[in-house]
């Protein structure tokens, strides 16, 4: 079993990234180690340049994200952790796969629509092409499983189509590329903004007050949850209900922290006096979950040379695998000399 996922080095990573994705990476790493699997995680700096960004900051953010992933439990001795731009095989594969990617499919990508709507300057061709590079990221490693949040479902479906179209066109009924499955968590796959629970928590669109960052101090976490938008039901009703987006989101977060279902989280609060009790329970659970990550991050982040060494070693391991896939793809497509 082979697991792959990618994460952008943009902005500070938030609770949605942590619950929806990073925790599943750590769990995937453990599962891969138990069996004869391999877990591969990529910091996707080339995806981050598809929207407005600052080049100096990008490098800093890459180290931030590396330190954060290790602090959250990824162990470079048990997984491959690397920076996307260090593996040119992925970018070449992206171009080769573009010939089996339908323009119409890219046009239908929700993330492109959402991100292009908020771009104040250039809407880059790179942003449009983003899902092809994402497909190349995963397909280069012939992975079976991709842990992601709900917002990436469509991108994973597209990479499956790309793999299948490639195999049908170039693999003579065989399987050169593997169509991967997404692994979207049952609880916490779409954490919403605390100030606007109709929008997903995100570093770009959401409000600062409505976003919990993995590195927020406990007092900050408490303050943000205290101010979270709920509703004006009188008496207050703590229940999972599509009409109660704010309360449902808080229950989802609480459930994800405790490893229970949102309905069970609501049942545990049956005696609560109001939304204040719910907010208190969620902020305690989140602060407790994130504190060790923040502490380990602070110990590691200062040593950029050590972080760089981890990324360089990870890229060497990644390139060995990606080069084999790329060689087979080039050969099947008739690109370059006979291999
Ligand atoms: P990124 O960095 O934007 O997001 C990283 C992961 O966090 C998940 N996520 C959320 N989960 C729950 N609730 C939220 N509010 C929330 N916001 C974000 C995302 O689903 C993602 O899993 N396109 C990818 C990066 C990527 C990638 C890949 C992923 C590039 N290549 C190959 C998988 C495989 C992304 O959005 O990253």
* pLDDT tens digits, 162-211: 999 999 999 988 999 999 999 999 999 999 999 999 999 998 766 789 99
26, 131: one domain: yes
101, 143: one domain: yes
| pLDDT score recorded for residue 203 | 82
Atom of ligand 1 nearest to the CA of 188: 12
Q: Which of 8, 17, 179 has most ligand 1 atoms within 8 Å of CB, for mutation?
A: 17
Atom of ligand 1 nearest to the CA of 13: 2
Is the pLDDT at 144 greater than 90, yes or no? yes
47, 157: one domain: yes
Domain that holds residue 92: 2-183+303-333
Q: What is the CATH number of the domain that holds 152?
A: 3.40.50.620
172, 57: one domain: yes
d(CA 179, CA 175): 9
Q: Which residue has the higher pLDDT, 311 or 273?
A: 311
Ligand 1 proximity of 152 Cβ (cutoff 6 Å): yes
Q: Which of 23, 140, 152 has most ligand 1 atoms within 8 Å of CB, for mutation?
A: 152
Question: Across residues 281-289, what is the average pLDDT?
Answer: 98
Ligand 1 proximity of 176 Cβ (cutoff 6 Å): no
**Within a domain: 189:** no
Single pTM value for the model: 0.97
In the chain, the percentage of residues whose pLDDT exceeds 70 is 99
Question: Across residues 222-248, what is the average pLDDT?
Answer: 96
**Within a domain: 205:** no
**Within a domain: 197:** no
Cα-based distances in Å from 96 to 164, 277, 299, 319, 337: 14, 55, 42, 17, 15
Atom of ligand 1 nearest to the CA of 189: 12
In the chain, the percentage of residues whose pLDDT exceeds 90 is 92
| pLDDT score recorded for residue 205 | 62
What's the pLDDT band for 338 if we cut at 50, 70, 90?
Answer: confident
| pLDDT score recorded for residue 206 | 63
C-beta of residue 286 within 8 angstroms of C-beta of residue 212:
yes
Q: Which of 13, 16, 181 has most ligand 1 atoms within 8 Å of CB, for mutation?
A: 16
Q: Which residue has the higher pLDDT, 263 or 10?
A: 263
Domain count within the chain: 2
Q: Which residue has the higher pLDDT, 46 or 114?
A: 46
- Smallest CA separation from ligand 1 atom 30, residue: 6
Is the pLDDT at 320 greater than 70, yes or no? yes
Question: Across residues 131-157, what is the average pLDDT?
Answer: 98
Is the pLDDT at 339 greater than 70, yes or no? no
By DSSP bridging, strand 80-83 and strand 181-183 are unpaired
144, 251: one domain: no
260, 163: one domain: no
Distance 218 CA to ligand 1 centre (A): 25
């Amino acid at each position: 079993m082979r697991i792959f996922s990618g994460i952008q080095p943009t902005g500070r990573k938030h609770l949605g990234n942590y619950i929806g994705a990073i925790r599943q990476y750590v769990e995937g790493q453990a599962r891969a180690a138990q069996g004869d699997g391999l877990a591969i995680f990529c910091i996707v700096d080339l995806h981050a340049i598809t929207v407005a960004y600052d080049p100096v900051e990008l490098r800093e953010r890459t180290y931030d994200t590396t330190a954060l992933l290790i602090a959250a439990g990824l162990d470079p001795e048990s997984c491959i952790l690397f920076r996307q731009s260090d593996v040119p095989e992925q970018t070449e594969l992206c171009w080769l796969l573009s010939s089996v990617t339908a323009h119409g499919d890219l046009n239908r990508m929700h993330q492109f629509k959402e991100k292009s709507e908020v771009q104040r300057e250039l809407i880059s061709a790179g942003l449009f092409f983003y899902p092809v590079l994402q497909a190349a990221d995963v397909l280069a490693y012939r992975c079976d499983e991709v842990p992601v949040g709900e917002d990436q479902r469509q991108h994973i479906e597209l990479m499956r189509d790309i793999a299948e179209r490639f195999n049908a066109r170039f693999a003579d009924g065989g399987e050169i590329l593997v169509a991967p499955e997404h692994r979207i968590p049952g609880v916490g796959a779409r954490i919403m903004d605390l100030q606007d629970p109709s929008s997903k928590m995100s570093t770009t669109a959401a409000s600062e007050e409505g976003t919990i960052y993995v590195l927020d101090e406990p007092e900050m976490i408490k303050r943000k949850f205290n101010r979270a938008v709920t509703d004006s039901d009188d008496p207050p009703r703590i229940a999972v209900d599509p009409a109660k987006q704010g309360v449902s989101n808080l229950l989802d977060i609480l459930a994800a922290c405790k490893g229970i279902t949102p309905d069970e989280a609501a049942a545990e609060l049956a005696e609560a006096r109001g939304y204040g009790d719910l907010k208190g329970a969620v902020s305690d659970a989140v602060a407790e979950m994130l504190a060790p990550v923040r502490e380990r991050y602070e110990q590691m982040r200062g040593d950029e040379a050590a972080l760089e060494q981890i990324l360089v070693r990870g890229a060497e391991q990644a390139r060995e695998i990606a080069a084999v896939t790329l060689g087979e793809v080039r050969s099947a497509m008739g690109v370059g000399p006979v291999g």
